[in-house]
Chains A and B, each alone.
Chain A
């Protein structure tokens, strides 16, 4: 099921000819986002209402994190709930009450919908309202869906953030909102740069603590830090906020363009912008250059996974001179990615959706130097002699901004370096 709408070759731009596929999708569902979102909002608890499969997925994705002090769990639906022997809502209320009694540190509880809860049409928004009424002001209860039938991998973060937007206090004041989960250290770096340019006040969504929800309103201008925040952006627009269009802050050039978009909006002079960003830009350029020797000319193939593929491909092509064989993405958001697509080489092969077996055929035929893919595909590809980079690491490693530009490049260089090192 592949169809490509062909455009005339003159005036061709990246994204004009997209391979669209519908077949088996080898991707995580949105529940996976809990693994990094619970680290970010430090007093939030994520309660998946789902099946044993959901619990098993999360423990498989979370690895050893599960043994620490997890602020996530699964309320497993059983045959009694399905047969109507037990009232699923009563059961849920009971489990939530027990949980909150045991965890007085929790200030925000997300009820996270799953495939089974969606299919049996368990109304979690009503449950969240009911429980919020019961537990406010100590605990706010919200809901979103991380189900595989509705969300792909990072879309779980999108759904989670979108559920926060209606809760944000209203404000008419002019402010900048940075949207998308970033490592704390990256947020702090960005805050410093914005402060020096006198852009502000700046707040971040998600916030680190439940009681620190940023305000939003017609004066709010927002910058997306992640390319997968469709629903969140829409919800912010509905609150009167407006998006500052820009490429995403990966690499020296991406970060500069991203900061410049805000600077322009705030009327920061070119001189100030340059003075504030110059030292960090130089450091980033230098750090990225160290990886270029190894990466330049190397051919890279992206399997669809996180929606980070297009911005990262742009960074690798633009700043590291890598050759893009195929850039797969689960979903191509043309509006949010417009600035990115304009920077990609026009002939870039972009694919949207997936038919994993066909894509593997293409990948093997293209024989790229490095493949970015999920954990299910990595070792089988390595066994075929293909060097791989696991895409889930792109969500766990701080990669945004100037000081991480070198790390971001190094993520792709390391597998190649390792392959070069090994004599076995």
Chain B
């Protein structure tokens, strides 16, 4: 049993719903108690979908438990088939139905419907949403395309002369972080390369499309959390190689295009010639100098977190001071990346732990999920959202991909703007401190004055972290008045760093009270 106030991932059956809702002509019958229908609103409210998810819930109640829930389930499957006439169905149980052990797969098979009915077993008490989505997609593909598989160890015949290369795009679902826009971006890229798209799945695919998934020459795994299991099976069953580089950022996009072109046997030049990314020039232009060494803390699903770290480090010149994920299945990728940037990897699904890590790392910027956005707001730090879980703001009206060269533009804008806003805050704060102004009021858009982050006593989710921050502050060396005054003379844009370095120096040297001398000794020590 684990106490939680908030979760990064929903239950496994919500993952299955993301697959079903992304697809067309598929229906999901979920054995679930009354109340589990709340999941519909994730799609209709957060994603603003104009249709109900293709899900029928049995919504059993206590009175049904004494009777025959198995018959209720069978009736629901039959009614759903009659009403929606899907070309395939998936059936499964939510957490409560898993406990009553009705065997949805067996019951549905017993009905002898004239369509494929694919049973899902998604252990709700061990696994979570992304795993549920991955498993659902894998079972669908396996059930629908399995009969066309090559014999074990079989080799793909070479492409017919004159036949254009074909690819599957794997991983996009309903309720995915910018999946809608990334699919468009990657599709345009394939067009530029002269590669035909065989199947995009789950998003937009019909069960019939999945039966011919083996026709492609290779696979692109857009979102490994969801597409990797399927891609690995396709590699074995159809000898389809896969591209696992995730094209987020300019460097990764270029690398991705080259890998794709090589697998497809086409010239990468048309896609590489795409000049629409302004990121490289914007990042080189002199006004971006102030981005140098900005301390960023990164947390999200593994794919987006690893990609963000690379962009932050290589393309914006930030310093990665924290890197973590809630995707335990992909912890290895995060560990490898964390080693590259010399930070401790943080693998957790407890947001209080993340909050503590953010506070300890003292970043100037957080790249995270909606939860980290709130953590950053409490700490007075700028933040950009890079990953699910989804929020209505993560479905912007404008085309805003994360992938490809256009996606890199989106990253530049959405990551740099919070920092510029922060800079404006500092400027306002600085002018406000001038003799002409006597207003002590803090600038407001980040909640409170950003420079006060370490002394923050704002109540947090459970009051715990706030205490931790205060405790930590009380261990800090104290500033003598003169030193504090001297610190105030240091230009605002390096003041925070000067404060941190001085305190670190004082701690290391065992100095309890910081004097003007300590301040300058620390400056000399750190050389800045």
- List residues of A whose CB falls within 8 A of some B CB: 23-32, 47, 49, 51-53, 55-57, 59-61, 66-67, 69-70, 72-79, 81-82, 86, 88, 91-92, 94-95, 98-99, 102-103, 105, 115-116, 118-120, 147-150, 152, 357, 374-380, 382-383
Beyond A78-B2, A376-B37, 10 additional pairs, beta carbon < 8 A: A29-B33, A51-B11, A53-B10, A69-B463, A75-B4, A79-B123, A119-B100, A147-B33, A149-B96, A376-B45
| Interface flag for B25 (CB, 8 Å) | no
CB distance from A202 to the nearest CB of B (A): 33
How many angstroms between the C-alpha atoms of A214 and B359 in the bound complex? Answer: 44
**For residue A105, which residues in chain B have a CB less than 8 angstroms away from its CB?**
463
B99, A120: Cβ atoms under 8 Å? yes
**For residue B57, which residues in chain A have a CB less than 8 angstroms away from its CB?**
24
B1, A56: Cβ atoms under 8 Å? no
B7, A59: Cβ atoms under 8 Å? yes
Which of B47-55, B136-144, B409-417 sits within the interface? B47-55
A375, B44: Cβ atoms under 8 Å? yes
**For residue A120, which residues in chain B have a CB less than 8 angstroms away from its CB?**
99
A115, B35: Cβ atoms under 8 Å? yes
Which of B109-117, B124-132, B266-274, B338-346 sits within the interface? B124-132
CB distance from B431 to the nearest CB of A (A): 32
Which of B60-68, B166-174, B233-241, B398-406 sits within the interface? B60-68
Kindly identify, within residues 37 to 81 of chain B, every residue whose CB is under 8 Å from any CB belonging to chain A.
37-42, 44-45, 48-52, 56-62, 64-65, 76, 79
B48, A24: Cβ atoms under 8 Å? no
B44, A380: Cβ atoms under 8 Å? yes
Tell me if A's interface is mostly helix, strand, loop or mixed: helix
B125, A78: Cβ atoms under 8 Å? yes
Contact of A148 among B40, B42, B61 (CB under 8 A): B61
**For residue A92, which residues in chain B have a CB less than 8 angstroms away from its CB?**
1
**For residue B79, which residues in chain A have a CB less than 8 angstroms away from its CB?**
23, 357
How many angstroms between the C-alpha atoms of A30 and B1 in the bound complex? Answer: 22
B4, A55: Cβ atoms under 8 Å? yes
How many angstroms between the C-alpha atoms of A377 and B50 in the bound complex? Answer: 9
B14, A51: Cβ atoms under 8 Å? no
A-B contacts, 13 listed (Cβ < 8 Å): A25-B37, A29-B38, A31-B35, A52-B9, A52-B11, A56-B39, A59-B7, A73-B3, A73-B4, A88-B1, A115-B96, A147-B33, A148-B36
How many angstroms between the C-alpha atoms of A148 and B371 in the bound complex? Answer: 28
| Interface flag for B154 (CB, 8 Å) | no
| Interface flag for B452 (CB, 8 Å) | no
How many angstroms between the C-alpha atoms of A257 and B258 in the bound complex? Answer: 77
Most chain A CB atoms below 10 A, which of B5, B50, B126, B374: B5
**For residue B126, which residues in chain A have a CB less than 8 angstroms away from its CB?**
78-79
**For residue A150, which residues in chain B have a CB less than 8 angstroms away from its CB?**
61-62
| Interface flag for B455 (CB, 8 Å) | no
How many angstroms between the C-alpha atoms of A81 and B124 in the bound complex? Answer: 13
B462, A103: Cβ atoms under 8 Å? yes
**For residue B461, which residues in chain A have a CB less than 8 angstroms away from its CB?**
67, 69-70
Measured CB to CB, the nearest residue on chain A to B37 is A26
| Interface flag for B460 (CB, 8 Å) | yes
CB distance from B7 to the nearest CB of A (A): 5
CB distance from A82 to the nearest CB of B (A): 6
How many angstroms between the C-alpha atoms of A382 and B50 in the bound complex? Answer: 8
CB distance from B92 to the nearest CB of A (A): 13
CB distance from B420 to the nearest CB of A (A): 24
Given contacts A69-B459, A79-B123, A119-B100, contact A52 B59 (CB under 8 A): no
**For residue B60, which residues in chain A have a CB less than 8 angstroms away from its CB?**
149
| Interface flag for B481 (CB, 8 Å) | no
Interface string of B1-34 (1 = CB under 8 A from A): 1111111011101100000000000000000011
Contact of A56 among B7, B56, B125, B374 (CB under 8 A): B7
Contact of A26 among B10, B40, B64, B94 (CB under 8 A): B40
Measured CB to CB, the nearest residue on chain B to A31 is B35
B374, A152: Cβ atoms under 8 Å? no
B41, A98: Cβ atoms under 8 Å? no
A70, B5: Cβ atoms under 8 Å? yes
Given contacts A92-B1, A103-B462, contact A56 B37 (CB under 8 A): no
**For residue B62, which residues in chain A have a CB less than 8 angstroms away from its CB?**
118, 149-150
CB distance from A58 to the nearest CB of B (A): 9
Measured CB to CB, the nearest residue on chain A to B389 is A59
Given contacts A73-B3, A74-B4, contact A375 B45 (CB under 8 A): yes
Measured CB to CB, the nearest residue on chain A to B10 is A56
B45, A53: Cβ atoms under 8 Å? no
Given contacts A73-B5, A76-B2, A79-B123, contact A148 B99 (CB under 8 A): no
CB distance from A260 to the nearest CB of B (A): 37
B35, A60: Cβ atoms under 8 Å? no
**For residue A53, which residues in chain B have a CB less than 8 angstroms away from its CB?**
10-11, 13-14, 36, 94-96, 124
How many angstroms between the C-alpha atoms of A26 and B1 in the bound complex? Answer: 29
A51, B44: Cβ atoms under 8 Å? no
How many angstroms between the C-alpha atoms of A94 and B3 in the bound complex? Answer: 10
